Chain A
């Protein structure tokens, strides 16, 4: 048996290649999708109520652009607070000191457990609870600083506080998940090399945890961008509220909502691209990275160039 097997020539001819089985299903699905897209495009283009000319008219209006700027500011500030708070509370939560762990747990419990909209309204109306904000030595000591709550907690401050504190609770869980995803052996190896816990966290654990932390954080940033629309209840003139102010006057509700949505989509797209590159950075050493679209384009161009050159050389000889 074995001798005949060893002596057998390969049956397939040399030039045979692997071909994929034809898929009639592929054509059907593609056809249906193209049909739907065409129908949608036609209805969008021909429906007069969409008022594309109004969309164009307001797309770069200064009111909306300043609203967009405020939306971005709110997103950046709230995420900065959220990430900082989340990082701190995640480490607290994992601390062997019980009371720190309990404080962190209570924080996430409260801020994840109540609606964001309620939190925004609450901070906006905080003056009803505390008329004055005072920094003083507790229990009757001297006052160091005092101010009227309403002059400190403006709509913008209330919005940043509410969004940031709420975000911190979610980021806390994300960061904690990242930290506990790192193998216990990493910490032991670092300890055995004489490192102390701060350094271990900063140099060994966090860089590895980032691989797990970054993708959901990207989600959170994009979510935050759109959650900022809620702060219109605190009369902060962000993107949506700016659009509302205009359509309340002109009744061009749909076109202005389209303008706002297009801006949200645009910023989300930019953020997604950023996330893609940050993820690649933290994937270092973990797997071989696929080329970026840009690198792929370059290779394709290089290949084409090479093929062309080869052809030119061949024809020359």
Chain B
């Protein structure tokens, strides 16, 4: 029953003199929702970006469905894969960014079908049909021909989610998806994400929304100083934290 989709083993990452990740390991099973919380600078975003190889890692391994991500093992060394392979691997991981990063020169529909058509070589009609289905799901079908600039932040982020889903990913990565939003727009994005979780999408979510984590997450990770300090069911980690650092953090945000 439990099938591991993502396995991260002892990942280290250094930016100059600062070691941002000091040996992080985790596994995510199919249909699991994992939320990662922690103070800024704790390495949670870097971890997420290492998973789809937007950041190179210095040590450790990331595996998606058993396939080593970003590297090829040659003897005792890991060699970075050629771009072609990196691009292929990334198509099975959707990523949603804090700053939405929609393509401003394309309409909503063009944003969504750009990669399915250009990278996965799907026929335009098929990609458009999928895009319209996804837009209906995030409640924005009427905005298909609008440009990103004409949408609110919440609407842009919902389009970004639809764009990532259009690639048919086996894993979705969310990097603080609501942190750039006005408070009244946070709810609409979280609602979409709750729906996705309910439908059984495998998700890793870096977030500051403790309420969302409590409600939706199967597993909650608390990170600080580049390591996973505590992990477990949200009710346990939030209700009965074992570590002092977790208690300190929670006392500030709850």
- Report if A285-B93 is in contact (Cβ < 8 Å); known contacts: A194-B167, A196-B87: no
Are B105 and A197 touching (Cβ within 8 A)?
no
A88 in the interface (beta carbon within 8 A): no
Contact of A195 among B52, B87, B149, B164 (CB under 8 A): B87
Does B59 touch A at the CB level, under 8 Å?
Answer: no
- Quick one: given A194-B87, A194-B167, A195-B115, are A285 and B148 in contact (CB under 8 Å)? yes
Task: Determine whether A219 belongs to the interface, using a CB cutoff of 8 Å to chain B.
Answer: no
Question: Which of chain A's residues have a CB closer than 8 A to the CB of B81?
Answer: none
Residue from the list A185, A192, A196, A285 in contact with B149, Cβ < 8 A: A285
Residue from A183, A193, A199, A207 in contact with B163 in the complex, judged by beta carbons closer than 8 Å? A193
Q: How many A-B contacts if CB must be within 8 Å?
A: 75
Determine whether B83 belongs to the interface, using a CB cutoff of 8 Å to chain A: yes
Which residues of chain A are near B147, meaning CB under 8 Å?
A: 284-285
Structural contact, B149 and A203, CB atoms closer than 8 A: no
B120 to chain A: closest residue by CB: A194
- CB neighbors of B among A166-204 (8 A): 183, 185-186, 188-197, 199, 203-204
Interface flag for B137 (CB, 8 Å) = no
Chain B residue at smallest Cβ distance from A198: B83
A286, B105: Cβ atoms closer than 8 Å: yes
A191 touches B105 (CB 8 A): no
A185–B120 CA distance with the chains assembled, in angstroms:
22
Q: Could you say which residues of chain B place their CB within 8 Å of the CB of A242?
A: none
CB-based contact A193/B97 at 8 Å:
no
B77 proximal to A (CB < 8 A): no
CB of B149 within 8 A of CB of A287, answer: yes
**Judging by beta carbons under 8 Å apart, are B114 and A193 in contact?**
yes
Q: Which residues of A contact B107 (CB under 8 A)?
A: 285
Contact partner of A189 (CB less than 8 A), chosen from B88, B97, B120, B167, is B97
- Given A188-B54, A287-B149 in contact, is the A203-B118 Cβ separation under 8 Å? yes
Bound-state CA distance A155–B103 (Å) is 47
B87 — which chain A residues lie within 8 A by C-beta?
A: 191, 194-196
Q: Tell yes or no: A228 within 8 A of B by CB.
A: no
**Most chain A beta-carbon contacts within 10 A, residue among B52, B83, B90, B103:** B103
- Chain B contributes a number of interface residues (CB within 8 A of A) equal to 32
Closest B residue to A200 by beta carbon equals B87
Q: A203 CA to B163 CA in the complex, in Å?
A: 16
**CB neighbours of A208 from chain B (8 A):** 103-105
Q: Which residues of chain A are near B91, meaning CB under 8 Å?
A: 193-194
Q: Are A186 and B119 also in contact (CB < 8 A) when A192-B52, A196-B87 are?
A: no
The reply on B109 being an interface residue by CB < 8 A is: no
Q: Does B217 reach chain A (CB closer than 8 Å)?
A: no
Q: Are A194 and B101 in contact (CB under 8 A)?
A: no
Give A230 to B107 CA distance when docked, in angstroms.
46
Interface contact B106-A285, CB-CB below 8 Å: yes
- Asked if A186 and B101 make an inter-chain contact with CB atoms under 8 angstroms apart, the answer reads yes
Interchain CA distance A195-B101 in the complex, whole Å: 14
- B227: Cβ under 8 A from any A Cβ: no
**Residues of B contacting A185 with CB < 8 Å?**
97, 99, 101
Tell whether B84 is near chain A: CB-to-CB under 8 Å. yes
Give chain A residues whose Cβ lies under 8 Å from the Cβ of B84. Answer: 196
7 CB contacts below 8 A, A to B, read A186-B101, A192-B90, A193-B163, A194-B87, A196-B83, A196-B84, A284-B147
Residues of A near any B CB (own CB < 8 A):
183, 185-186, 188-197, 199, 203-204, 207-208, 282, 284-287
